[in-house]
């Protein structure tokens, strides 16, 4: 592995964090990154800490946290006087929301499976799937 000379440009910061340069700019515009330094010609310069923050944000997105939740988590991550209870509260709320969405998707899966079971899938025009979608269920 080669050593890195910091700061790096936006392309390098994007590659190192696993996100696009467009998303780097977006996260910066949302205030998730502290104001990054710029060269005299206006090019952004990212520090190792900036890239680490971008990796943190990406991991949060990979876990499905909202941008508002990630903003809170980034703030807590940088606050050494934080209470872990605040972090746990955010994560628990997100887990509860995920469980609700999974339950709703499982209900959709069961409904669709039932409709598929009732559809003959032959040359006849009758179709319980279309009837259900039209609100004329069995």
Structure pTM?
Answer: 0.84
For 71-103, b/e burial (b = at least 16 CB within 10 A) is bbbbebeeeeeeeeeeeeebeeebeeeeeeeee
Give every residue of the chain whose pLDDT is below 70, as ranges: 1-3, 137-138
What is the pLDDT at residue 136? Answer: 76
Residue the block writes with tokens 């998303």? 23
* pLDDT at residue 89, rounded to an integer: 98
Distance of alpha carbon 135 from alpha carbon 65, whole angstroms: 35
pLDDT value at position 43? 94
């Amino acid at each position: 592995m080669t050593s890195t000379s910091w700061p790096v440009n936006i392309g390098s910061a994007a590659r190192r964090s696993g996100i696009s340069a467009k998303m780097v700019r977006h996260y910066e515009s949302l205030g998730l990154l502290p104001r990054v330094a710029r060269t005299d010609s206006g090019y952004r310069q990212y520090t190792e800490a900036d890239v680490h923050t971008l990796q943190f944000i990406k991991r949060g997105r990979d876990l499905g946290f909202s941008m508002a939740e990630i903003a809170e988590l980034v703030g807590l991550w940088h606050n050494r006087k934080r209470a872990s209870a605040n972090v746990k509260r955010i994560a628990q709320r997100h887990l509860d929301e995920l469980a609700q969405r999974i339950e709703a998707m499982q209900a959709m899966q069961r409904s669709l499976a039932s409709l598929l079971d009732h559809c003959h899938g032959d040359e006849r025009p009758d179709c319980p799937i279309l009837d259900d979608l039209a609100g004329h269920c069995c």
